[in-house]
Every structure is written in C-alpha cells, then in structure tokens.
Amino acid sequence: MRTLIVHNGASGFGSDAVYLFERSLLHTGDRCEFRSLAADWDADEAVADADDFDLVVVSGGDGTVASLLYALRRHRAIVCVFPSGTANLFFASLGNSPEPAALARACRIGRTMECDLGEVGWMGPEGREHRAGFTLMSGTGFDAELMRAAVPNKKAMGQAAYLMAAVGNPNPPLVTFTVEADGETFVREGIACIAANSAMLQGDLEIVPDSRLDDGLLDIIVLESPDAVGLLKPLFLGLIDRHGANLGRPSIERFRAREATISSSRPIPMQIDGDPLDHEVSSFTARILPERCRLVVDALSPYAVESGEAPLFPGTEVKAFPTD
C-alpha cells in the first residue's frame, strides 16, 4: 500500500495522535510519505501527486480538511480524514471512530462512501472573484463574527473560545438576507445565513434534520432570532432531539437547493468551515459538488454499506517504518 499523509501540525490539541495512526497503519512492504504543511502551504501543491498513492490521509482541523478535500476533488485516490483540529466537526459528521488504531484498520479494510463537497464564490475587496471549497458550512453574519472573535483564543482555549465569543456578543444586528435558491427567491431577516453540506454542531447536534453528506443538496439556513439568547431554545431542544426530526428548530428556517446566491443588506463577516475571511462581503454564491471525494468510513459510520468483500489492503505483520 502506498500512502501519503498530509498533516497540519498547527491545527489543534490532538495533532500528535497522527503518529500513532501512522504506526498502526503501516504493514511490511508498505510505503508512506509523511508531508508536514508549512505555514504558507498551498492545498493544490500539497496533493498534486495524489494519484501516485493508494491512500491519501488528510490530517488537520475542519479548515485544513476542507481545503485539502477541495484540492482532491479531481483525483480518485481513497481519502482518510484524520481529526487533528479543535472541533473536528466534519470528522464527527462521518461518524468514524476517532481511535487511531481503529481508523488505521478502517483504511486497510477500505470501505468508502462518495462524499459531496460545497463550493463558495465571492468578490474580494480588490475586485477579484474568489472560490473555495467547504465540507461543513459557509456562512455570513453572526456565526462568522463568532469565528473571527474566537481566533485569538482558539489555540489556548479550544472550543471554549467560541463560547466566550458568543457571550461577548449577545445582541448581533439583524440583517436582511435575499436567498435565490434553484430559481426561487426568498427574503428573510436574521442574524446569519449559512450554506451547509453537513449541519452538525458539537455534541452530534444537528441544526436541521436529515442533512447528509451524500444527498446532492445544500441546506440554506437562516438564523431568524433577533438576538443570541433566542438561539438558546433551539439549542436546548437539540439536547432532547439531537436530529430535529420531532421537535423541529424554532427561529431557524431552511431551504434546500443545488445552488444558491445569498445577498445581505450590508457587508458582513463570512466564514468557510470555521475559518473567517479577513474582509466582509455583501453576497456570495454556493453550490453542491456531488460525489467528489471517496472517503474511508468504518462500520460505525451511518454512511457505511456492508459489501462482504475482503479487505482492500490486507496484511498481518505490523511494521511502522519499513526499511526494504
């Protein structure tokens, strides 16, 4: 088995666990290239030779994973997502076991799912159009403001940095959003508008029900509460009904579409899979890219399909660093 591991060591608390994963993954005769990302890394360059490998492991937080998967969208290598970030929400959406040896075993078994990706486009302050991929969600408004406010404390505080940012901004301003989704237009007032490929938050809580990574659709979500306190009700209901199928999500409205354009009444912050832009935007486009990545899943994942086939990469003797 020829493996490429692309790792962002600056992603979060659990970044060293990838070395345990590597030792569990490699068997006698395997070849592995471990590629640590520099501070000025480029996603396309990092995986340009992905087709030379049987397995590509992307290791980092949600932002790193999204950038690398978007760069891999034109490659057909099997990809394993390793959780090395602060929140690791995309990994949680896949439903795999986070234990390094278990994830290494899943790679050798080779059970996979075809995963959708999201793509956003927006105009930068210099007048140039930008595009980026996302695995979870991209949005403007209150959620992006939280991400931006959490940046200085995220390395030291982890997920608590987001809570501290929310406490510091209890009354975000209302914005008028115009949503054009698959040819239909909706106008709503709210504090944020999000385009989601997966709507999962921490604690397996889903913002809206029935959001999947393989359904070929985006969920366009408007947070209509006039203040941050108003979001406590849907969050509380989420503790009782994590998937939102029975109690719903008050103060939250959802539109489903393959592509959408979201405009706001004034320029506001924007985030892509938890990474805030360094400038504000007044509109962005979002579209779904169906079945763009072939991702490893284990038997615990809701995306696993039992095939009855033999492991894709069999082997018995474990050897961390083969010399022959």
Phi-psi region of 292 (alpha: psi -120 to 50; beta: other; left: phi over 0): alpha
CATH number of the domain encompassing residue 142 = 2.60.200.40
Sheet holding 218-223, edge to edge: 252-257, 218-223, 192-196, 137-141, 270-272, 275-276
Domain range for 190: 118-291
pLDDT tier at 250 (50, 70, 90 boundaries)? Answer: very low
Residue 157 has pLDDT above 60, yes or no: no
228 in the same domain as 158: yes
Please report the pLDDT score of residue 251 as a whole number: 72
Total domain count, the chain: 2
**Is residue 164 a part of any domain in this protein?**
yes
**Is residue 52 a part of any domain in this protein?**
yes
The mean pLDDT of 91-104, rounded to a whole number, is: 95
Residue 143 has pLDDT above 90, yes or no: no
Residue 183 has pLDDT above 60, yes or no: yes
**Is residue 123 a part of any domain in this protein?**
yes
**Is residue 315 a part of any domain in this protein?**
no
**What is the tens place of the pLDDT at every residue in 98-128?**
999 999 999 999 999 999 999 999 999 999 9
122 in the same domain as 103: no
CATH number of the domain encompassing residue 12 = 3.40.50.10330
Mean pLDDT of the chain: 84
SS3 label, residue 81: strand
Is-contact 183 252, C-beta < 8 A?
no
Residue 164 has pLDDT above 70, yes or no: no
253 in the same domain as 124: yes
Residue 81 has pLDDT above 90, yes or no: yes
259 in the same domain as 122: yes
